[in-house]
Amino acid sequence: MSKKIKRIGVLTSGGDSPGMNAAIRAVVRTGIYHGLEVYGIMRGYSGMVEDEIVTLENRSVANIIQRGGTILKTARCKEFMEYEGRKKAYENLTKRGIDGLVIIGGDGSFRGAQIFSNEFNIPCIGLPGTIDKDIAGTDFTIGFDTAVNTAVEAIDKVRDTAEAHDRLFIIEVMGRDAGYIALHSGIATGAENILIPERKTDINDIIASLAEKEKRKKLVNLIIVAEGDEFGANELSSLISEKLPTLEVRVCILGHIQRGGSPTCMDRLLASRMGYHAVESLIEGRHNVFVGILNNKMNYTPLNEAVKKKQHINDEWMNIVKILAT
């Protein structure tokens, strides 16, 4: 039998994503509803090591569901990567009697949670908070919907000026290791080409396609590039300009605006549902898993599996891109 959880800590780790505050709110209020004491750990694992831990009440999370970022802050923590740092973190939890953790973050955060739990027998539940949607075991991650909608809104505006000037725009979106933001925003905005890390880019094919479009006077084109693709937006622009000097090529890098902003309804609902089930999982004794949603049903993936698997791009998506961009 698992021991009864009485006090839980919640933290946000890694890159921030819209909806993290909604998840924090759900964890705090569900915990308090069940009679648990809830603590907020500031700045991710760094706050655990440095003893930046505060008590959270219902009022502590009032009026945050609509806010981007995270009220608990987030940071990378090199000290937590070493055993001595993790031991220090454990001691800080122990003196408050914290006997369960909810970690909101990506695969790196889950990896830290898995190691920490194995070493000190602290039950951990992960919530997938990342705009990249790159964690296997869930259809969506907290923040992805907001980030991709931010990208779509920006790309639509860029297309307006592209139309006005008959230009080719190369737009770089976030996605260091995963191309889901590029894929979804590219399809939604009618991009002619989408470059993602998961697929090798055939630069000759892109140039041939643009040359063919130029012959039939299709001068307005959008190419969406994930930042982790082998060709960055600027390099791609130089190559195309060299091969097709008559084309007017412009580059737009969207950058960190994709991380911020008020979360969409979908991200608020997703975060609230996941946060609720994270606390329920700790109470029920379902430990060391991350909470995901597959086919609109809750799915629980062991942390040791979550850190080994990546969400894969379905070939059907790439076929859709090819057919709809003609």
Active site residues: 132
Buried b (16+ CB within 10 A) or exposed e, 194-233: bbbbbbebeeeebeebbeebeeeeebbbbbbbbbbbebbb
Query: Bridge-partner residues for 249, per DSSP?
Result: 168
Rounded distance, CA 302 to CA 146, Å? 26
What are the tokens at 103? 């970690």
What are the tokens at 106? 């990506």
Nearest to 268 by CA among 150, 96, 110, 144: 144
What are the tokens at 301? 């993936």
Which ranges of 71-178 would DSSP assign to H, the alpha helix?
A: 83-94, 107-120, 144-165
* Whether 282 contacts 8, CB under 8 Å: yes
Q: Name the maximum alpha-carbon separation found in the chain.
A: 72
* Whether 70 contacts 11, CB under 8 Å: no
What is the chain's Cα-based Rg? Answer: 22
Rounded distance, CA 142 to CA 109, Å? 14
Q: Give the burial class of 55: count Cβ atoms within 10 A of its Cβ; 0-12 exposed, 13-18 middle, 19 or more buried.
A: exposed
Complete edge-to-edge strand list for the sheet that includes strand 221-226: 193-195, 221-226, 168-173, 249-253
